[in-house]
């Protein structure tokens, strides 16, 4: 999962981009089955020798072998050990008259120090490193640099004359030693992989070491390579590696497949994180935490990102993507898996609420912008443009909807079937969906529109009670606004999780939902009836079961009821947020009309109830998220025309009134939830989150009281 990087300005100016279309995909004319690579590392003149076994896949015997290459100095080319004729264009090497099966030997030179594109092999901070996703391998040597060409690799690395005590590549270490005064290492990866998963790292590092015993009894050597002097900041990352490996075994029955697992976490890596087979590489900011200074959020994020890259071992490495238009195939599935990992190992409510926030802020904004695109785009100007919140995070919500529709057990069976059927292959989103259909026993034909249509669906809801038949009648409709290149949208297929609360706050289940907790919306308008008593409130979109905007006629009293009694974390938090937004909108109108700002009676009442019921079983993280006052930026999103001064004033009034009204409750809460230690744990994280929030409001209320004593009044409470 590449993060961010900066292209060389001069390179960008010289390159010309032509739109590439998904429908233009053509299978390769040749494939490679095995590649031997030898690197003689040098700061400015690294010698690369490749010996590749190729095989013709086309019946056209006249078709030449055409290899990709960029910024390479070509020294020699041989076919089956003999010199051959070839042509070199700007970024292609063409060899004609090749047999059906043959070996190509290429020797070329590259300059890692001058490689400011940071793709391929580059040198930074005295070390050598590679980044090959999506198309960086062509900057190392001439090759079929495609995601659908998979080969096994044997890599021999000769270190430079100084400064590289560690020589790493994918797979298992076969041999290491010294030859002619230079350190060398030989690595072999027995699992076929595309060139974008190739990795090489050479430098001087400190090492955090451990072992992991798989469920079948194999001992896996774990090594975390870090910048010199940083081992103490890598201990938690090593713990997370072991947690990830154990979780993947327990949840999805996926056991690690090599003798070692290596992670490099260094300051000089400029791509965020990358899942190269058995050699994950990170920028240290994502995985290194100082126990004495790092925040709880930093620890939580390290666990997530370590898990994400490790989980790619199967969903991305062992089964990879046919072409880059299928990027969501590996990324969204792995995002879903890392979210479930954080949910199981950290806090489910916090993980889900964070994922929902990403969708409703960044992804919805992308859907509403000129950059809107489907989860599986139809065309692109440059491959690096694929790395978007739509492809990653909206794609993960699509996977989650499938999980909702077929359930945990069928999803696990379908995923296992997918990984076994396509092991060692490059496939498409369609291949994945067919596996979900077969083992999930579901028809996903209409559901596929989530991959082909851009934009955020708007779901409108209304309901009434039919006294004569004792039925609650719910009507839902959906529409999606036009996006660039897609003026008309067809109805999506989506699960809408639903529950019902009676007047006393008890959840009631109608007979129509005896075996599931969701309804299907797959038409523009649909009507649903439920056998219920009167005055039962429908609670829609529980767990944010589809990435949509819900417009429902909830009153402030309805929201208060849901916040107080719903067991669903998303509904509880979203109800509180909507109550805050309603309060802000109403009181901005009051200010415009010269009226006084009202008291947030319903919010105060609900918050008091939540605070008074806190005990040792309370999820303090969820409590904190529920009571958090929305930022000005978040509130701004609900306005067409923003009165920023009035918005800020009303929000400040809201904080003041809550702080004053609940000062006693916040003080009591603060006194009994102190964290047991300064160490990171989910329990301590929740306690610290809530302590900070309650302490800030308590101090705020005290300051307001002091001001009121001085002024003789309480103008703000």
Instruction: Give the full edge-to-edge strand order of the sheet including 471-480.
Output: 525-531, 471-480, 457-466, 549-551
> Which tokens go with 456?
């955020």
Cα separation, 99 vs 117, in Å, equals 36
Q: Which residues, at least 6 apart from 448, have a Cβ–Cβ distance to it below 8 Å?
A: 433
Instruction: Give the full edge-to-edge strand order of the sheet including 206-213.
Output: 206-213, 219-226, 260-266, 279-283, 273-274
Count of alpha carbons within 13 angstroms of residue 505, beta-carbon side: 13
Cα separation, 223 vs 220, in Å, equals 10
Determine how many CB atoms are found less than 10 A away from the CB of residue 114.
13
End-to-end CA distance of the chain: 49
Cα separation, 177 vs 180, in Å, equals 10
Residue 309 annotated to the active site: yes
Classify 140 as helix, strand or coil: coil
In the chain, DSSP finds a helix count (H) and a strand count (E) of 19, 32
Q: Which residues, at least 6 apart from 573, have a Cβ–Cβ distance to it below 8 Å?
A: 353, 622, 625, 626
Classify the C-alpha dihedral 337-544-490-453 as positive or negative.
negative
> Which tokens go with 23?
């429908």
Determine how many CB atoms are found less than 10 A away from the CB of residue 57.
14
Residue with tokens 């907790």: 517
SS3 content of the chain, % helix, strand, coil (to 5): 40, 25, 35
> Which tokens go with 222?
């774990």
Catalytic position from the list 309, 397, 602, 663: 309
Count of alpha carbons within 13 angstroms of residue 241, beta-carbon side: 29
Count of alpha carbons within 13 angstroms of residue 272, beta-carbon side: 13
Classify the C-alpha dihedral 510-516-517-523 as positive or negative.
negative
Q: Which residues are catalytic?
A: 309
């Amino acid at each position: 999962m590449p993060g961010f990087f900066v292209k060389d300005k001069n390179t960008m100016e010289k390159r010309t981009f032509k739109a590439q279309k998904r429908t233009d995909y053509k299978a390769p004319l040749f494939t490679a089955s095995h590649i031997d690579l030898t690197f003689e590392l040098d700061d400015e003149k690294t010698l690369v020798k490749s010996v590749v076994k190729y095989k013709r896949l086309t019946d056209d015997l006249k078709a030449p072998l055409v290899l990709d290459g960029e910024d390479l100095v070509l020294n020699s080319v041989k076919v089956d050990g003999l010199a051959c004729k070839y042509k070199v264009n700007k970024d292609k090497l063409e060899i004609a008259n090749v047999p059906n099966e043959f070996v190509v030997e290429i020797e070329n030179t590259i300059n890692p120090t001058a490689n400011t594109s940071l793709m391929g092999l580059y040198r930074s901070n005295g070390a050598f490193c590679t980044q090959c996703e999506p198309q960086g391998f062509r900057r190392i040597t001439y090759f079929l640099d495609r995601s659908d060409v998979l080969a096994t690799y044997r890599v021999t690395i000769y270190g430079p004359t100084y400064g590289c005590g560690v020589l790493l590549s994918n797979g298992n270490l076969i041999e290491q030693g010294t030859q002619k005064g230079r350190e060398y290492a030989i690595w072999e990866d027995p699992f076929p992989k595309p060139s974008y998963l190739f990795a090489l790292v050479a430098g001087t590092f400190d090492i955090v070491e451990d072992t992991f015993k798989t469920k079948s009894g194999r001992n896996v050597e774990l090594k975390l390579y870090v910048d010199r002097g940083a081992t103490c900041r890598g201990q938690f990352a090593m713990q997370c590696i072991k947690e990830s490996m154990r979780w993947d075994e327990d949840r999805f029955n996926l056991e690690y497949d090599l003798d070692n697992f290596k992670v490099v976490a260094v300051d000089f890596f400029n791509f965020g994180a990358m899942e190269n087979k058995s050699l994950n590489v990170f920028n240290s900011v994502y995985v290194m935490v100082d126990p004495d200074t790092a925040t709880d959020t930093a620890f939580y994020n390290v666990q997530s990102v370590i898990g994400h890259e490790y989980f790619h071992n199967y969903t991305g490495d062992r089964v990879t993507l046919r072409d880059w238009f299928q990027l969501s195939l590996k990324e969204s599935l792995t995002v879903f898996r890392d979210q479930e990992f954080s949910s199981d190992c950290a806090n489910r409510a916090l993980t889900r609420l964070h994922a929902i926030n990403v969708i409703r802020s960044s992804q919805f904004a992308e859907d509403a912008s000129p950059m809107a695109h489907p989860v599986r785009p139809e065309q692109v100007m440059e491959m690096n443009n694929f790395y978007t919140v739509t492809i990653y995070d909206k794609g993960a919500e699509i996977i989650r909807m499938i999980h909702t529709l077929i359930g945990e057990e069928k999803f696990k069976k379908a995923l296992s079937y997918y990984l076994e059927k396509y092991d060692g292959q490059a496939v498409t989103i369609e291949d994945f969906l067919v596996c979900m259909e077969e083992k999930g026993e579901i028809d996903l034909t209409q559901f596929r529109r989530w991959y082909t249509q851009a934009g955020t669906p708007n779901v409108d809801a209304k309901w009434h009670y039919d006294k004569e038949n004792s039925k609650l009648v719910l009507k839902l409709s959906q529409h999606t606004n036009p996006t660039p290149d897609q003026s008309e949208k067809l109805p999506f297929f989506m699960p809408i999780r639903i529950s019902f609360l009676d007047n006393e706050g008890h959840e009631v289940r109608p007979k129509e939902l005896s075996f599931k907790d969701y309804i299907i919306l797959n038409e523009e308008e649909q009507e649903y009836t439920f056998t219920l008593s009167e005055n039962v409130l429908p609670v829609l979109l529980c767990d944010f079961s589809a990435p949509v905007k819900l417009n429902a006629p909830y009153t402030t009293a309805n929201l208060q009821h849901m916040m107080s009694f719903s067991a669903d974390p998303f509904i509880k938090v979203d109800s509180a947020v909507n109550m805050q937004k309603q309060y802000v909108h109403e009181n901005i109108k009051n200010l415009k009309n010269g009226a006084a700002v009202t008291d947030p009676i319903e919010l105060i009442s609900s918050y008091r109830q939540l605070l008074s019921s806190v005990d040792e079983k309370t999820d303090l993280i969820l409590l904190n998220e529920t009571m958090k006052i929305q930022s000005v930026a978040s509130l701004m999103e609900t306005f067409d025309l923003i009165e920023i001064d009035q918005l800020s004033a009303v929000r400040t009034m809201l904080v003041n009134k809550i702080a004053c009204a609940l000062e006693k409750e916040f003080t009591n809460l603060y006194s009994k939830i102190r964290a047991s230690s300064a160490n990171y744990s989910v329990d301590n994280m929740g306690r610290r989150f809530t302590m900070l929030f309650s302490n800030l409001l308590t101090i705020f209320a005290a300051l307001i009281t002091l001001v009121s004593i001085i002024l003789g009044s309480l103008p703000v409470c």
